């Protein structure tokens, strides 16, 4: 399968992927666009600007396209993550969603499953004081809206996971028919 793990920052996506990689030895992990771009020398603003999220969206779609037809891949983030950030960014009025929607749709449809890691009532990862908790919550809510209300008619299969890392791993493995 082609699986993407999505969610706001600091919810445990990467930790979940690391654990899944151990349990699903035949799967290959594709790192999140932020880290790949950073390795290539892209310099992100602090806090990230609209262009930073657009660049991550572009890269995320490229990764799905480059891996199209490849099975057994775990993607750390997908284009929907960046739609969540772009639609909640203070400069979101400058983001032309309609220009991106067709390509987002076609790349998302290459996925078999999207695993959503929401912010939980009892946060599993402490947010550093310098990070914007309000933005994090807004992105989480926007992602939930995109994934479950499906306003852009993406028609994807979504598995929300909750609890400890081991509980989340079990939920994914059970969904995949594994234990």
DSSP secondary structure, 46-95, as one string: SSPPHHHHHHHHHHHHHHHHHTTT--SEEEES-HHHHHHHHHHSTTGGG-
- The domains of the chain are located at 2-132+140-175
Quote the pLDDT of residue 136.
Answer: 84
Output the CATH code of domain 2-132+140-175. 3.40.50.300
pLDDT value, residue 75: 97
Q: Within 89-156, where are the H helices?
A: 97-108, 133-144
Nearest to 172 by CA among 16, 62, 31: 16
State how far the Cα of 168 lies from the Cα of 11, in Å rounded to an integer.
12
pLDDT, mean of each 10-residue run, the chain (179 residues): 94 94 96 97 94 98 90 96 96 96 96 96 58 82 97 95 96 91
pLDDT at residue 123, as a whole number: 56
Longest dimension (CA), the chain: 46
Closest CA to 60 of 41, 90, 37: 37
Looking at residue 10, its pLDDT comes to: 81
> What is the residue whose two structure tokens read 């035949």?
26
This prediction has a pTM of 0.93
Contact 125, 133 (CB under 8 A): no
Whats the size of the chain, residue-wise?
179
Q: How far apart are CA 9 and CA 84, in angstroms?
A: 11
């Amino acid at each position: 399968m082609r699986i993407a793990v999505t969610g706001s920052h600091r919810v445990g996506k990467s930790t979940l992927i690391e654990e899944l990689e151990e349990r699903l030895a035949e799967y290959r992990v594709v790192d999140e666009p932020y880290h790949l771009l950073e390795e290539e020398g892209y310099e992100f603003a602090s806090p990230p600007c609209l262009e930073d999220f657009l660049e991550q969206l572009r890269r995320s779609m490229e990764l799905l396209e480059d891996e199209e037809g490849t099975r057994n891949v775990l993607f750390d983030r997908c284009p929907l993550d960046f739609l969540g950030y772009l639609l909640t960014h203070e400069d979101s009025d400058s983001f032309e969603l309609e220009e991106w929607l067709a390509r987002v749709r076609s790349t998302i449809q290459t996925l078999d499953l999207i695993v959503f890691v929401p912010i939980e009532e009892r946060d599993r990862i402490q947010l550093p004081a310098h990070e914007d908790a309000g933005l994090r919550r807004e992105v989480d809510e926007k992602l939930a809206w995109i994934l479950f209300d499906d306003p852009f008619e993406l028609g994807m299969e979504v598995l929300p996971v909750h609890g400890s890392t081991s509980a989340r791993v079990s939920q994914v493995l059970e969904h995949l028919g594994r234990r």
